[in-house]
Amino acid sequence: MISQTVLKKISNSVGHEHLITDKGSMAEYASDATKLEFMPDAVAFPGTPREISRILRLASKEGFPVTPRGAGSGMSGGALPVKGGLVMAMNRLDRILVIDEENFITKVEPGVITAHLQEAVERVGLFYPPDPASLNVSTIGGNVAECAGGLRAVKYGVTRDYVLGMTVVIPTGEIINTGVETMKGVAGYDLTRLLIGSEGTLAVITGITLRLIPRPAARKTMAALFPDILSAAKTVSGIIKNKIVPTILELIDRLCLDCVREEMGLSIPRDAGAMLLIEVDGDELLVEKEARSIREVCARGGALTFEAASGVEEADRLWEARRNVSPSLYKLRPHKINEDVVVPRSRLAELAAHLDELGEKYGLPIAAFGHAGDGNIHVNIMFDKENPREEENAKTLIRGLFGKVLQMGGTITGEHGVGITKAPYLGLEIPQAGLQLMSRIKTAFDPKGILNPGKIFS
Ligand SMILES: Cc1cc2nc3c(=O)[nH]c(=O)nc-3n(C[C@H](O)[C@H](O)[C@H](O)COP(=O)(O)OP(=O)(O)OC[C@H]3O[C@@H](n4cnc5c(N)ncnc54)[C@H](O)[C@@H]3O)c2cc1C
């Protein structure tokens, strides 16, 4: 519990109108996309790095937990105040400070919404590629803290590939600049990379310098239906083997197609067992050439149908199925565990076969969709919490899934992070010595353990 005296000091730092303590107003800061709930003692909305520094110094002295929060769209519980204390919300730090068209960089505050930054840079012919599906709500700070991926990662990489430098406040209150504002820079340890994906456990990010690239001139969206997931997965490998790196290469399995077909009234043929959604971008002539090659590879892979959108509206129609997959799955069971495993993309077919085996063994529907182009598949295990046997089976199934993914040379999380939901499994992937080193790094940044405690390390 944070005492009234300490709350008064926090209020003096941020201004009383930027601190809330009543449960009703704090409810939206007690949860995130996991739908788990932990009520904080207070929520502060600082407006400057100096205010954040003062609060962290106070927290280190008084020993209360501080949990940084962006938009709360995280899928692993990173923004949840699991030990109570203060939620530090970034809502007020939401300015795009610079878009430098000569040096292709932008400087932003952490609370900028991802889509707002993309629109702003695209207006001047530049491009910020990382596009988590949550981009209309998620913040750049949250993206950096989670190293968010997205649909375009197959061609353009993830958030990490665009962060040049940051301003951060470490838990002892010191304000530190990391990295550079230039395209190159190797002075000292790469603290920027260490902080990217640190899930708000090492520092509060207060400023970010991002690399931009020129906006691609043209793009083309295509959709192909296959009789089964194996032929679709082999086509993914076929496209890449053909030396084409699409901007987007998404896979949707039979169970997902069945759900969206009924839910949305989409005309997807009954014999379709998988769909690939593919997008290419770049120079207009190249886009047309790559689209033709992709059509040929899909035909060779046994595609039942192939459609190429001729404009934005048609492309939007092709995306409709993908957009609606996630919510439509609840018709299978009332609860869902969404795992974001990654395997080498050449082994997608093997993963698909394993998911079938697991589903049959544990009697649970498993729906898979996601970023096939980079081997990052969202595996949705559907179950009913009211049925203790199903809940138990879902948990056992996850261990089996992670075991197989690691054996295939993959990872248990490609973009959602560890937070609290994956903490019990991290030891499966990272050996003890690695975990101990990470823990010593955490202590070096945060000797009092006040920043986002209870995360990553179980
Ligand atoms: C529908 C949906 C689709 C999604 N699609 C994708 C996807 O395609 N790819 C993907 O990678 N993720 C995806 N996500 C997950 C989520 O949107 C991302 O992890 C996103 O980066 C979280 O941003 P946020 O602003 O909501 O952060 P929050 O959820 O508020 O916080 C996430 C973590 O970042 C920390 N944090 C936030 N701000 C700061 C800061 N300024 N300083 C230090 N730490 C901070 C928090 O402490 C927490 O640990 C999706 C989520 C939803 C709900």
pLDDT tens-digit profile of 8-25?
999 999 999 999 999 999
Distance 448 CA to ligand 1 centre (A): 25
Residues with Cβ within 8 Å of residue 210, at least 6 apart in sequence:
105, 106, 107, 108, 117, 128, 140, 162, 163, 164
| Residue from 242, 231, 372, 253 nearest 304 by CA | 231
Residue 288 pLDDT? 96
CA-CA distances (angstroms) from residue 11 to 16, 229, 299? 5, 56, 64
Residue 183 Cα to ligand 1 middle (Å): 26
CATH number of 216-328: 3.30.70.2190
Q: Where exactly does CATH 3.30.70.2740 map onto the chain?
A: 332-445
Which letter, b or e, does each residue of 398-429 get, where b requires 16 or more Cβ atoms within 10 Å of its Cβ? Answer: beebbebbbebebbbbbbbbbbbbbbebbeeb
Could you tell me which CATH number the domain at 96-214 has? 3.30.465.10
Phi then psi dihedrals of residue 279, to 5 deg: -135, 140
**Tokens in use for 113?**
């919404």
Q: Who contacts 206 (Cβ-Cβ below 8 Å, separation ≥6)?
A: 48, 49, 52, 93, 109, 110, 167, 168, 169, 175
**Per-residue pLDDT at 202:** 98
- Pocket mutation for ligand 1, best pick of 146, 152, 202 (most atoms within 8 Å of C-beta): 146
Q: Which of 36, 69, 323 to mutate to test the pocket of ligand 1 (most atoms within 8 A of CB)?
A: 69
For 434-453, what is each residue's pLDDT tens digit? 999 999 999 999 999 999 99
For ligand 1, the distance from its centroid to the CA atom of residue 206, given in whole angstroms, is 15
- Residue 162 Cα to ligand 1 midpoint, Å, equals 16
> Is there an atom of ligand 1 within 6 Å of 109 CB?
no
Which residues are CB-contacts of 102 (< 8 A; sequence separation ≥ 6)? Answer: none
Ligand 1 centroid–CA 348 distance in Å is 26
- The pLDDT of 138-146, averaged and rounded, is 98
Whether 65 lines ligand 1, by a CB cut-off of 6 Å, is no
Nearest CA to ligand 1 atom 27: 142
Percent of the chain with pLDDT over 70: 100
Q: What is residue 320's predicted lDDT score, i.e. its pLDDT?
A: 82
| Residue 359, pLDDT above cutoff 90 | yes
This prediction has a pTM of: 0.96
Cβ–ligand 1 contact at 110 (below 6 Å): yes
What number does the ligand 1 atom closest to the CA of 110 have? 41
pLDDT at 390 over 80: yes
CATH C-level class of 332-445: alpha beta
Give the closest residue to 103 by CA, choosing from 26, 47, 31, 184.
184
Q: Could you report the per-residue pLDDT of 324-351, keeping only the tens digit for each?
A: 898 899 999 999 999 999 999 989 999 9
Candidate CATH numbers 3.30.43.10, 3.20.20.70, 3.40.50.300, 1.10.260.40; the one for domain 4-89 = 3.30.43.10
pLDDT, mean of residues 70-94: 98
Q: Where in the chain is the domain with CATH 3.30.465.10?
A: 96-214
Buried b (16+ CB within 10 A) or exposed e, 326-347: bebbeebbebbbbbbbbbebbb
Where in the chain do CATH 3.30.43.10 domains reside? 4-89
